[in-house]
Amino acid sequence: MFEFKITHQDKNSKARTGIFKTPHGKIFTPVFMPVGTKATVKTLSSEDLGELNSEIILANTYHLYLRPGEKLIKKFGGLHKWMNWKKPILTDSGGFQVFSLALEKGNTKFKTSVKITEEGVHFKSHLDGKTHYLTPQKAIQIEHDLGADIIMAFDECSPANSSKKYFKEAMQRTHDWAIKCLKEHKKLSKKQKTKQALFGIVQGGMYKDLRIQSAKFMDNIDFEGNAIGGLSVGESKEKMLKMIEAVIPCLSEKKPRYLMGVGTPEDLFNAIEHGIDMFDCVHPTRMARHGSFFTNEGRFSIRNKKFKFDKNSLQKNCKCLACKSYSRSYIRHLIFEEEILGLRLITIHNLHFLLNLMSEIRTHIKKGDFKKFKTNFLKKCATTNGKK
Amino acid sequence: MFEFKITHQDKNSKARTGIFKTPHGKIFTPVFMPVGTKATVKTLSSEDLGELNSEIILANTYHLYLRPGEKLIKKFGGLHKWMNWKKPILTDSGGFQVFSLALEKGNTKFKTSVKITEEGVHFKSHLDGKTHYLTPQKAIQIEHDLGADIIMAFDECSPANSSKKYFKEAMQRTHDWAIKCLKEHKKLSKKQKTKQALFGIVQGGMYKDLRIQSAKFMDNIDFEGNAIGGLSVGESKEKMLKMIEAVIPCLSEKKPRYLMGVGTPEDLFNAIEHGIDMFDCVHPTRMARHGSFFTNEGRFSIRNKKFKFDKNSLQKNCKCLACKSYSRSYIRHLIFEEEILGLRLITIHNLHFLLNLMSEIRTHIKKGDFKKFKTNFLKKCATTNGKK
C-alpha cells in the first residue's frame, strides 16, 4: 500500500523529489503539510484546501482525543469522512502536545502536570485539568481510530533546559515506546485490516551523539518513514541545521524524512537541501491570523499604514483567491475591523505562497538548479526568514 | 436607469413579485438583502455571496464613514470595486446607527452622546468618542462617495420610550431632512453623473396617525422607493403588522417598498403578504455566529447535545456548501472549539435558507398559492419565528 519512490536526486545537494503513495492518494515530496489541529485548518474549509492543492494535511491526536474524542470520529468512519477531506492525512501521536502544553504553564509546573513513567505519561488536560494517561499503545489505538494515512509513534519531547542526562533518558524511553508503538500498530492493523503508515521520531535534544544514536535506532525499526522531532523549539538556526546534518546520514534514503514543526521559507530551503522530504508548521496560518503575509520581497504586516491606500494584491501575480479578488487596502480594513474574512484571506494567501514555493522547489530540483533557485529566492526575500 | 416593474400581483393578498433594475443588475422582489455592515457580510467573501445567489447586499454608511472613511473607498472607485462585489449594493444613511449606538450605552447617556438640531446630528463615535456631525446633506455626500446602487435618506430613529410629541417632532425633522437629501442627491447626481436610486424612510413610531402622515409625505416626494424604518425595534409582532397595514395603502404601488431590519421567516411572510418588496436584517448571520441554524422544522442551536453524533446535514436536502459537505456533528465540534470555519458554515447555511425561501415565495406568488405556502411553511416550523 505504502511506497516511497525517489524520482529525482539533486547532484549538488541532498535535495530530492519523491512520490509517497498512501490509501488516499499520492504525496509529491518535498511537501508542506498545513496544520489542522482540531480537524480544521484554521479559517479554511476542505473545499478551500482543495483549491489550494494541498496534498496532505495534519491533525492533532492530543486535541481530538480530548475533544470530541476519537470514538466519535471512529463512528463517522474516521477523520477523512468526519471532516470531508478526501486526500491524505497525518496525525501526530500527541506526545509533543502533552509536553509542550504542560510547559506553557511554566517550567515549575512541569512536574506537577506531567508525570512520566517508563510505561507512559499521566498528564492534566489543558482544557479542564482532568488527569489522563497516555501510553504508546493508547496513542496508537487513538491514531487507528482517527484513521489517518500516516501516524506517528509516541515520543517524549523534553524541555530545552533539561540536562544531557535527562535528554538521554527521554531518548531511551522514546526508543522503548517506539517498539511498543510498532507492536500495537501491527496488532491493530492485522485485527482491523487498516492501512496506515507508522513513522518513528528521532529525539536527542541538541546533542549530536544522542541524535545519531536515536536516528540509527529508529531507522533500524520497521517504520515506513523517519521523523525528526524536538527541533525548531527555540534553538538557533545553525544548531538546528547541525542536528539535521548529523541525523540525515543515519536515515535510510529509501524512507521519507519528516522534519516536524518547521515552516519558514528559509528553514524549508535549508532542510530540503539536507534531504528532508516532509514538513508541517502552524507558522503560515498563525502568522496570517496576526495579519502577516508572505511576499517575494519578504514578510509584511498588513497593519502597516503604508498599505492603507494600496490597490495591489498581497503579492503581485499571485493566483490565490485573496490576490485575485482583493486589494491590500481592503484586507487591511478587514483585519483592523476584526472581520473573519480578513483572517481567511491571508491564511489562503500564506498557504498558497508556501505550497506554491514547494511546487517550485520540486520543479527546480528536477531541473537541476535547486541551489541557484534557493540563493535567488532568499536574496530577494531577506525578511521572510521567520521574522515575527 | 432605475425601473421597478411588478411582474405578478397575488389575488388573495397584497403580495407581489417585481423586478427592480439597477446599474449593477436586476433585483427580483420580494428580496432579502444580507447585511455587510463594514463592507463584508460577516465571515463571507464576495465569492461565497455569489455562490449563494445573493442579488443585492447592504452596507452601513455610519461604519464606513468612521472607518476607513468614504474618501478612501471613493479612491478605489466605490464600494463595488473596493469589496469586489459586482451586483447591486444598498447603503443605509447612517441614521439608524447614529441613534441606536448611542442608545446602546443606556438611555441616560442618550442626550450627551447624540445632540439633534433641525440641521443635523452631533454624535460621538462608538469607536473613540470623537465628535462627528452628520447632516442630511453630508449623509448623501458620503453615500455618493460609497457609490451604492440604492441609497437611503437620512432619518431620525427615536427611542421606543419617547413621547408621542417627540415622535411627531422627530418625524417632522425626518421629513425636512428627506427634502434636503433629495436636493443634495439631485445636485450631486448631476454634477458627478452618478446613477443612484434614493429611497425615503417612513417614521412615526407606533402611532398609526403619524405613520399614515409620514407615508403620505414620503410617497409624495420624488424618491425611487419607499422604506419603513423604526419597526422591529422591540414592539410586538401584532403592533409591527398594524403599522405596516396602516402605511401600505399610502405608498404607491409603483415604487418598491422596503421594510428595514426585518428577517425572520414569519416576519418576512407577513410583511410580503402586506405588500413589502425588500428586507434586510442581521438576524440570519448573527444567529449563525451564535451557533443557531434554520431548518424546515424550526430553528435550533448546534450546541444542543443531541447533535453530538448527528450524521445529518443542518437541513436535509439543502444544497448549500455546509449541508453538501459537513455533518451537524462536525459543525457542532467546530462551534465548540471556536473554529472560524464553523461560523462561516452556519452563516452560509442560514443565508442560503433565507434566500432560498425568498425564491420559493416568489415562485408561489406567481403560482397563485402564496398564502397556502405560507400557512404550510409556518405550520411545520413553529419555532423558526425569531425565537432566540
* Buried-exposed string A319-341: b where 16+ CB fall within 10 A, e elsewhere: ebbbbebbbbbbbbbbbbbebbb
Domain-embedded: residue A5: no
Instruction: Note whether B262 and B362 are same-domain residues.
Output: no
Dihedral angle of Cα A78, A83, A84, A90, to the nearest 10 degrees: -60
pLDDT at B298 over 50: yes
Tell whether B305 lies on the interface with A, counting CB pairs under 8 A. Answer: no
Contact predicate A254/A4, CB 8 Å = yes
pLDDT at B385: 42
Instruction: Note whether B265 and B131 are same-domain residues.
Output: yes
Domain-embedded: residue A83: yes
Of A68, A336, A343, the CB nearest to B340: A343
Tell whether A339 lies on the interface with B, counting CB pairs under 8 A. Answer: yes
In this prediction, residue B95 has a pLDDT band, given cuts at 50, 70 and 90, of confident
Q: State how far the Cα of B169 lies from the Cα of B158, in Å rounded to an integer.
A: 10
Tell whether A335 lies on the interface with B, counting CB pairs under 8 A. Answer: no
In this prediction, residue A125 has a pLDDT band, given cuts at 50, 70 and 90, of confident
To the nearest whole percent, how much of chain A has pLDDT over 90? 87
Q: Identify the three-state secondary structure at position B193.
A: coil
Tell me the per-residue pLDDT of A355-366, one tens digit each, with 9 for 90 and over: 999 999 999 999
In this prediction, residue B114 has a pLDDT band, given cuts at 50, 70 and 90, of confident
Domain-embedded: residue A25: no
Using a CB-CB distance cutoff of 8 angstroms, which residues of chain B are in contact with residue A331?
none
Tell whether B72 lies on the interface with A, counting CB pairs under 8 A. Answer: yes
Tell whether B341 lies on the interface with A, counting CB pairs under 8 A. Answer: yes
Domain that holds residue A306: 288-380
Using a CB-CB distance cutoff of 8 angstroms, which residues of chain B are in contact with residue A326?
83-84
Instruction: Note whether B259 and B312 are same-domain residues.
Output: no
Of A327, A337, A340, the CB nearest to B340: A340
Query: What sign results for the dihedral spanned by CA atoms A228, A229, A234, A239?
Result: negative
Domain-embedded: residue A321: yes
Q: Cβ contact (<8 Å) for A72 and B341?
A: no
Using a CB-CB distance cutoff of 8 angstroms, which residues of chain B are in contact with residue A45?
321, 325, 341, 344-345
A263 to chain B, closest Cα gap in Å: 22
pLDDT at B274 over 60: yes
Using a CB-CB distance cutoff of 8 angstroms, which residues of chain B are in contact with residue A82?
327, 329-330
Q: Which of A118-122, A315-319, B98-102 has the lowest mean pLDDT?
A: B98-102
Angle at A71 between CA A70 and CA A75, to 5 degrees: 115
pLDDT at B156 over 50: yes
pLDDT at A104: 62
Q: Name the residues of A annotated as catalytic.
A: 92, 280
Per 3-state DSSP, chain B is made up of helix, strand and coil in percentages (nearest 5) of 45, 20, 35
Tell me the per-residue pLDDT of B320-343, one tens digit each, with 9 for 90 and over: 999 999 999 999 999 999 999 999
pLDDT at A103: 60
CB within 8 A of A274, min separation 6: which ones? Answer: A13, A14, A241, A244, A245, A248
Tell whether B122 lies on the interface with A, counting CB pairs under 8 A. Answer: no
Distances (CA, A) of A225 to A199, A380, B380: 5, 34, 56
CB within 8 A of B247, min separation 6: which ones? Answer: B202, B211, B212, B214, B215, B228
Chain B residue at shortest CA distance from A46: B325
Tell whether A38 lies on the interface with B, counting CB pairs under 8 A. Answer: yes
pLDDT at B110 over 70: no
Instruction: Note whether B27 and B126 are same-domain residues.
Output: yes
B226, B259, B281: which is the final residue of a domain?
Answer: B281
What is the DSSP code (8-state) at residue A316?
T
Q: How much is the mean pLDDT over chain B?
A: 94
Q: Work out the average pLDDT over A302-328.
A: 98
Instruction: Give contacts of B 245-304 with A, CB under 8 A.
Output: none
pLDDT at B387: 42
Tell me the per-residue pLDDT of A202-227, one tens digit each, with 9 for 90 and over: 999 999 999 999 999 999 999 999 99
In this prediction, residue B388 has a pLDDT band, given cuts at 50, 70 and 90, of very low
Q: Which of A189-193, A245-249, A322-326, B365-369 has the lowest mean pLDDT?
A: A189-193
pLDDT at B386: 42
Higher pLDDT, B113 or A192: A192
Q: How much is the mean pLDDT over chain A?
A: 94
| Count of the separate structural domains present in chain A | 2
Query: Is B92 among the residues known to form the active site?
Result: yes
Q: Cβ contact (<8 Å) for B330 and A38?
A: no
Using a CB-CB distance cutoff of 8 angstroms, which residues of chain A are in contact with residue B49?
none
Instruction: Note whether B136 and B245 are same-domain residues.
Output: yes
Q: State how far the Cα of B346 lies from the Cα of B353, in Å rounded to an integer.
A: 10
Chain A residue at shortest CA distance from B289: A340
pLDDT at B33: 98
Domain-embedded: residue B386: no
pLDDT at A105: 53
To the nearest whole percent, how much of chain A has pLDDT over 70? 95
Cis peptide bond prior to A284, omega within 30° of 0: no
pLDDT at A333 over 80: yes
Instruction: Note whether B245 and B315 are same-domain residues.
Output: no
Instruction: Note whether B7 and B105 are same-domain residues.
Output: yes
Cβ-Cβ pairs closer than 8 A, A with B, add up to 99
Q: State how far the Cα of A303 lies from the Cα of A306, in Å rounded to an integer.
A: 8
A217, A245, A273: which is the final residue of a domain?
Answer: A245
Q: Work out the average pLDDT over A189-211.
A: 96
Instruction: Note whether A132 and A232 are same-domain residues.
Output: yes
Domain-embedded: residue A120: yes
Using a CB-CB distance cutoff of 8 angstroms, which residues of chain B are in contact with residue A40?
334, 337, 339, 341
- The CATH number given to whatever domain includes residue B115 is 3.20.20.105
Tell me the per-residue pLDDT of B186-241, one tens digit each, with 9 for 90 and over: 999 999 998 999 999 999 999 999 999 999 999 999 999 999 999 999 999 999 99
B230, B246, B281: which is the final residue of a domain?
Answer: B281
ipTM over 0.90: yes
Residue B267 CB coordination number (10 Å): 24
Q: How many CA atoms lie within 13 A of A349 on its CB side?
A: 32
Domain-embedded: residue B388: no
Of A83, A311, A339, the CB nearest to B76: A311
Instruction: Note whether B116 and B240 are same-domain residues.
Output: yes
pLDDT at B381: 78
**Helix B340-367 × helix B265-273 angle, to 10°:** 30
Tell whether B316 lies on the interface with A, counting CB pairs under 8 A. Answer: no
Helices (H), chain B: 46-51, 61-66, 70-75, 79-83, 95-103, 110-113, 136-146, 164-192, 208-219, 237-247, 265-273, 283-289, 321-325, 328-336, 340-367, 370-380
Tell me the per-residue pLDDT of A259-296, one tens digit each, with 9 for 90 and over: 999 999 999 999 999 999 999 999 999 999 999 999 99
Domain-embedded: residue A15: no
pLDDT at A108: 42
In this prediction, residue B103 has a pLDDT band, given cuts at 50, 70 and 90, of low
Q: Identify the three-state secondary structure at position A368.
A: coil
B331 to chain A, closest Cα gap in Å: 9
Instruction: Note whether A240 and A371 are same-domain residues.
Output: no
Of B47, B76, B311, the CB nearest to A329: B76
A337 to chain B, closest Cα gap in Å: 8
Q: Among B10, B149, B267, B280, which one carries the catalytic annotation?
A: B280
Distances (CA, A) of B384 to A312, A366, B293, B349: 44, 59, 9, 14
Contact predicate B288/B346, CB 8 Å = yes
